[in-house]
Chains A and B, each alone.
Chain A
Amino acid sequence: MKRVFFHVALAAGILILCAAGAIGGATYYYTSQRGAGCAGCHEMADYVGAVHASSHRSVGCFDCHSTGWAAKLRHTAVHLSGRTPEAIRLRDVDVVEMTAKCQSCHQREYATWRAGPHSATYAQIFTNAQQNATRRLMDDCFRCHGMQFSGSIGDIVQPQSLNGPWRIVRAGLASEPTMPCQACHWIHREGLPVSKPVARFSVAGAADGESLAFFDRREQMHFAIAELPLPQIFDRARPVNVSPDQRQALCYQCHAPRQPDAESAAARNNWGAQAGSGDDRTPLGVHEGISCFTCHSGHGESTRASCATCHPVMSDCGLAVEKMDTTYANPASKHNIHWVKCQDCHTHGVPRSMHRGSEFVKPIQWNER
């Protein structure tokens, strides 16, 4: 009996040693070559090639992607079975993990994004009672929220009705962001590594526009901002002066105007996409023609302090612009900052000296910097 036990223990010991050696060797093989080892599997070759041509070329695959046992076993099973997916994509959980890894290098950007509205969680977006009680939950929500989520709307929130209370089906995602870094940034984009500027610009200053890209859920790929369209927008029949800042093309993918309803005067007269419709925030009135990025900082979206970039702290009226209650965030308000007009305040007529419209503010163009 002792002899049998000895042989079993010896065999198990040898197996453990072999496994440890093999796994240790594999880990070294992959990590020591900054991803070249990953390209040994032909399914990975294109992706590794893309990373080595990207601005993240100095980062190894395993600095961002999972190296756990489960991942290794899953990759091996897929590879050996030959059931390789048509395109290799990050899973929901990988996207969540990735966001935390972005933080390790981009701490300032992460902190401002985390404090801003674009870090809204699955629970905040999909169990919002005010929203869900008036509008039907639908897969189209994923176009701008949770775009990397692999299931349908019923897989993330229940019940699918106007009557709550609503709950997140996959509880682990409830506190995770619906608009992670990869929603607006293309990590594997082609380009040179970006060096940080010596001095930071203000909210109106340059952002890393080259990394901006929209992750399109339907195509399961990023579209760089240079490829995204800037819309032609009308305020009734009048063409709206839209800033040519190409970075806005990213904003417009979600904050977009709609084509007019079929029976409307706008449709009958071919007025095209109407300002203020859909989720549109295109500036009209006194702010017409300026870019989203003139007031909104890229990650935090904070805008209050940006007023002082163009306006004197004390306005011509003697009001402190940063303290004015203009009901600027209320879309129903005529003082909404996006489309407030001179006449909205000067109800008895606009003083001649102020009659300069949008020419008053000449926005700094992205490509002028």
Chain B
Amino acid sequence: MAGTAATGAVCITGCSWRNSSRWEFLSNAQAETLAALADQIIPEDDFPSASQAGVVVYIDRQLMGPYRRHRGAYQGGIESADQISRKFCGVALAQARPTMRQEVVSALAERFREFFEMVREHTMEGYYGSPRHGGNRDAVSWRMLGLKEPPLRGRAHYDLSKGRGS
């Protein structure tokens, strides 16, 4: 009975006491900065950019699972990216003009090389990996590469009762 009461209470509040962000780990502001950073690594052209393809969703979900160990690095790195951006253009990275973002990210890559390389690696994973992990939305990168996914696999005909395939 107490359990059901707790259930009802949690449902009613919409769990807003726990996290008002639409993301699982990141805050809304952190996600915006990370999206701006990832979009400098894979920008939009004929195909979607990193954030449009769900890379931030991918990283956010992994930070709740296998990449828990990188939580501190992300929080610190994103804060550093915003600090550099404020120093360069007076606003956070997500609010900076597109031309300035590249300079900010270049500076970040120079000063926080380890963090930048981690984000680049995770952005690649999210963009080119399986859509089931949250990135590569609608298998967009596979279509960009011309991969036929899912592949066609006709079943082999065989008859084990005859002791051989047929």
- Tell whether, in the assembled complex, residue B1 and residue A40 are in contact, meaning their CB atoms are under 8 Å apart: no
- Tell whether, in the assembled complex, residue A135 and residue B130 are in contact, meaning their CB atoms are under 8 Å apart: no
The interface size of chain B toward A, counting residues with CB under 8 Å, comes to: 47
Q: How many A-B residue pairs have CB under 8 A?
A: 136
| A159: min CB distance to chain B, Å | 14
A220 to B134, CA, bound (A): 11
- Tell whether, in the assembled complex, residue A134 and residue B159 are in contact, meaning their CB atoms are under 8 Å apart: yes
For B20, the closest partner residue in chain A by CB is A42
- Tell whether, in the assembled complex, residue B7 and residue A26 are in contact, meaning their CB atoms are under 8 Å apart: yes
> Is A244 interfacial (CB-CB < 8 Å)?
no
A18 to B9, CA, bound (A): 9
For B165, the closest partner residue in chain A by CB is A261
Task: Choose from B3, B57, B161 the contact partner of A73 (Cβ within 8 Å).
Answer: B3
> Is B90 interfacial (CB-CB < 8 Å)?
no
- Tell whether, in the assembled complex, residue A221 and residue B149 are in contact, meaning their CB atoms are under 8 Å apart: no
A223 to B142, CA, bound (A): 12
- Tell whether, in the assembled complex, residue A19 and residue B134 are in contact, meaning their CB atoms are under 8 Å apart: no
A46 to B133, CA, bound (A): 13
> Is B6 interfacial (CB-CB < 8 Å)?
yes
- Tell whether, in the assembled complex, residue B8 and residue A25 are in contact, meaning their CB atoms are under 8 Å apart: yes
- Tell whether, in the assembled complex, residue B161 and residue A162 are in contact, meaning their CB atoms are under 8 Å apart: yes
Interface readout for A267-302 with B: 1 if CB under 8 Å, 0 if not? 000000100011110000000000000000000000
| A83: min CB distance to chain B, Å | 9
- Tell whether, in the assembled complex, residue A84 and residue B158 are in contact, meaning their CB atoms are under 8 Å apart: no
Q: Which residues of chain A have a CB within 8 Å of any CB of chain B?
A: 15-16, 18-19, 21-26, 29-30, 37, 40-43, 45-46, 69, 72-73, 76, 79-80, 82, 84, 86-87, 133-136, 140, 143, 162, 214, 216, 218-221, 223-224, 227-229, 231, 252-253, 256-258, 273, 277-280
Known: A19-B8, A76-B6, A227-B139. 5 other contacts (CB 8 A): A16-B1, A42-B19, A219-B150, A257-B152, A278-B155
- Interface CB pairs A-B, < 8 A, 5: A16-B1, A22-B5, A22-B11, A29-B14, A218-B150
